[in-house]
Structure formats: C-alpha cells, structure tokens
Copies of this chain bind each other. A is one copy, B any other.
Amino acid sequence: MNVDVDLAPLREYLAAEGADGYLIDDDASDADQRYVSGFTAPDPYQTLVTADGVHLLVSGLEYGRAAAEAGADSVSRRAAYDYQRLVAEHGQYEGKLRTLAAFLEDHGVDALSVPRTFPTGTADGLREQGVAVTVEPEGIVTDIRATKTEWEVERIRASQRANEAAMARAEELIATADIEDGTLVHDGEPLTSERVTEEIEVTLLRHGCALDETIVACGADGADPHDRGSGPLEADELIVIDIFPRDKETGYFADMTRTFARGDPGEEARRRYEVTHEAYEAALETVAAGVTGADVHGAACDVIEDAGYETLRSDPNTETGFIHSTGHGVGLDIHEQPSVSPSGGDLEPGHVISIEPGIYDPAVGGVRIEDLIVVTEDGYENLTEYRVGLEPTTDARE
C-alpha cells in the first residue's frame, strides 16, 4: 500500500475555496481515485477527501476487502445510509444519489469540490439535494501523483523488469531470424510485427503485466511515432520497438523503446541512430531537481539540430526530424505529469519520467531510444537495465 501519499496541496485548495470536501465518483480505471483511495474495485465507488481524512463509500460486496486493504481512514458501506430502501423508493439512480448525499452529510460536507471528469449526473443530482458542487480546474491530485513515493518507484521498477524481459524476447527474435529475400524469417515463416507483438504480450503476461497496445514498426511505419506497425520485418531497415506494459496487480506502468536493424540499414540510418543516442545522453545529463522539463527537452533538441535535423523547435510545422517531446511522466497512467517538453516546468525528486528522443523520416525510417528514470536531488537514477545498441543481440539485459 502506498502509505506516503501527501494530500496537503489538495487540502490547502479546499480550505482556500471554502469547500468541505473533494469527491471522486468513478471506478478504479481513474488513476486519481486509485491513488487517493489506495483501493481498486471493478465497479464504481466514491472517495471523499476532507480536512480530517479519506473516506470511502463502497458496495456491501466490496466492504470487507476495502476495510482490510484500502489506504483510507474510514470505509462505509452503502447499506449504512439506507441504500436499499432509497433505491426501492426513488429508483436506482435517484436512490444512489440520496445515499451519497447522506454519506456527505454524515461527514459534514455541504460544499464540494470535484474533478473535471466528475459525472454531471452526480453533480447536478447533488446540487438538487442542496450540496454546492464546483469543479477543481487545475488537476491538483494529478499534480500530486507526479511525485512518486519510494513505494511507487519500486512498483514502476518492477514493471520495467517485466518490460526488459519482453524487450529481450523481441530482440532475440530479431537477432536470431534468418534472412530470406530481404525479409526476416523464423521457423520458415516471415517474422511479422504481429508475431513479435504476440511474443511480447505473452512474455509480459507471464511476468504479471498486460498492455493494450505495443509498437513494432519497421521502415516507413516506424517514421510515424503512432504507427503500431504491421507485416513482415525487413532486413536493412530500422525497426522501432516501444513497449509500455502495466502491472496487473499494482496498476503501475513502465515504458521503454529500442531501435534495431538486421543487415545494413545504411549510413544515414546509422548516423541518425548515433545522433539520437547523443540526444538521449544529453537529455539524461541535463536531468536534476530544479532543472525544467523544457531544459531537458532543449538539450535533446540542441544535439539533433546541431546534427542538421529539424525539430519542432526549429520548425513547428516539420513532419520529419524530432517531431514529439522528449518525455512524459509515467505512473498509474502511461502519460502523466510532469511534461518533458517546451512547456515542462521544474523537475522534482521523485518525478518518474521517460527520456525518448527520436528522428523520423519515411524515406529512412524511425529511430527512438527510450529509458525510464527517476529524478533525484542532483541527477537521476535510471530504472532501465537494458543495453542501447542498433545491432540486436541475445544478451541485452544488464
């Protein structure tokens, strides 16, 4: 359980706004709710933050587990607020609202702050019950989540270990493939993006992780950073593999990208790989508490522009070169705060960020190199233990 969650900034906001509480009404797919409640359930539940604690409202089915597992100061079951009678009298929807209003009254809450994503049905319903509901517009909980506790860093590290196993399996398939008519072949069949993706997924699954999608993109596919890739992998082409799995138990993501080539991808591709590698190292060397995400992004742009490639800084409309930001926070969401981009603010100890510069051009293919790191007072710790190299090997895990 994540015991060191510091909700002080949220409580300061509530006090300044004259709100008695902050309510989340969602299921555990909402990362803010999972973080604040220390709980996850398949069905919606409610998490209330007040000056004196964190209070959950759950179904009878979830009550025992919530009372035992959740990081909350109190757990209530709906039945404690006459849920069944209210539903019988007013119907499912209105009955649930009245139960929630009774729960809020029990905790002395008349004026409520809610996240932007809070359901309008619940907000308008509570307003009809006399509760003042206003939206907290800044995403304070998301900001709090950007700084990881030690417990969280260990969870993310564990997800990255699984990720390394999956990357090693993918790299091994590429390293050991035969080449027939310019195509990678395994067991007599073309080695496709789809086959490599499936092996990545099976490996992750055997390490307790799952993913919604992954990128195994060869040649021109790899020049579009959002293309997942498809079809046979070719020799003499760049192959971008980007894996971002989530641990099924803890919910924490990891993220890593490597670029490989079998045969000879050509001098220009090799040069782009070297420049990307230098940009990655320059970005890493810049990271420290107090440095901004914009500074780190700038360091990567400097290297890439100096080598003669465009970036979105040198040409905001470019469709080739370095056409995304250098990184993003990773945690219970795959993309979260802080940003390592032109708008990125101060980095702080405990920020977990990706560093992932790349250079893209459909005529040459794509290169991207990505590690996951945690910011420390005077630099960073790399959470990734995996060799960086264009030539695929069978022993890349460090």
**Does A48 lie at the interface of the complex (its beta carbon under 8 Å from any beta carbon of B)?**
no
A8 near B: Cβ within 8 Å?
no
Q: Which of A31-39, A118-126, A272-280, A368-376 has 4 or more CB atoms under 8 Å from chain B?
A: A118-126
Q: Which of B118, B120, B135, B248 contacts A135 (CB 8 A)?
A: B120
Which B residue's beta carbon lies closest to that of A93?
B137
Q: Say whether A165 faces chain B, with CB atoms less than 8 Å apart.
A: no
SS class of chain A's interface: helix, strand, loop or mixed? mixed
The proximity string for A residues 191-215 relative to B, scoring 1 for CB distances below 8 Å and 0 otherwise, is 0000000100110011000101100
5 A-B contacts (beta carbon < 8 Å): A117-B120, A118-B119, A120-B120, A121-B135, A201-B205
Q: Is A61 an interface residue (CB 8 A)?
A: yes
The answer to the question of A320 belonging to the interface, with a C-beta cut-off of 8 Å to chain B, is no
**A271 in the interface, Cβ–Cβ < 8 Å?**
no
Partner of A205, one of B117, B122, B198: B198
Say how far A158's CB is from chain B's closest CB, in angstroms. 17
Bound Cα distance A123, B123 (Å): 10
> Would you give the 0/1 interface string for A265-290, flagging 1 where the beta carbon is closer than 8 Å to chain B?
00000000000000000000000000
The proximity string for A residues 108-143 relative to B, scoring 1 for CB distances below 8 Å and 0 otherwise, is 000000111111111110000000010101000000
Q: Which residue of B lies closest to A61 (CB)?
A: B226
Assess whether A29 is interfacial by the CB under 8 Å rule. yes
Q: A61 contacts which chain B residues (CB < 8 A)?
A: 226
Binding site for B on A (CB under 8 A): 29, 42, 61, 93, 114-124, 133, 135, 137, 198, 201-202, 205-206, 210, 212-213, 226, 248
Q: How far is the CB of A36 from chain B (nearest CB, A)?
A: 17
Q: Residue among A29, A118, A198 with the most chain B CB within 10 A? A: A118
Set B117, B118, B124, B210: member contacting A210, Cβ < 8 A: B210
**Chain B residues with CB below 8 A from A205, complex form:** 198, 201-202, 205
Residues in B neighbouring A123, C-beta threshold 8 A: 120, 123-124
- Nearest residue (CB) in B for A114 is B120
Q: Which residues of B contact A122 (CB under 8 A)?
A: 116, 120
Taking the closest CB of chain B, its distance from the CB of A235, in whole angstroms, is 27
In Å, the complex CA distance between A117 and B115 comes to 13
Closest to A224 in B: B61
Q: How far is the CB of A185 from chain B (nearest CB, A)?
A: 20
Known: A93-B116, A120-B133, A123-B124. 4 other contacts (CB 8 A): A116-B122, A117-B119, A201-B205, A202-B202
- Which chain B residues lie closer than 8 Å to A201 at the CB level? 205
In the complex, how many angstroms separate the beta carbon of A230 from the nearest chain B beta carbon?
A: 12
- Measured CB to CB, the closest approach of chain B to A53, in angstroms, equals 24
CA distance in complex: A210, B248 (Å): 12
The 10 closest A-B pairs by CB, nearest first: A116-B121, A120-B123, A118-B120, A121-B135, A117-B119, A120-B120, A201-B205, A202-B202, A120-B135, A116-B119
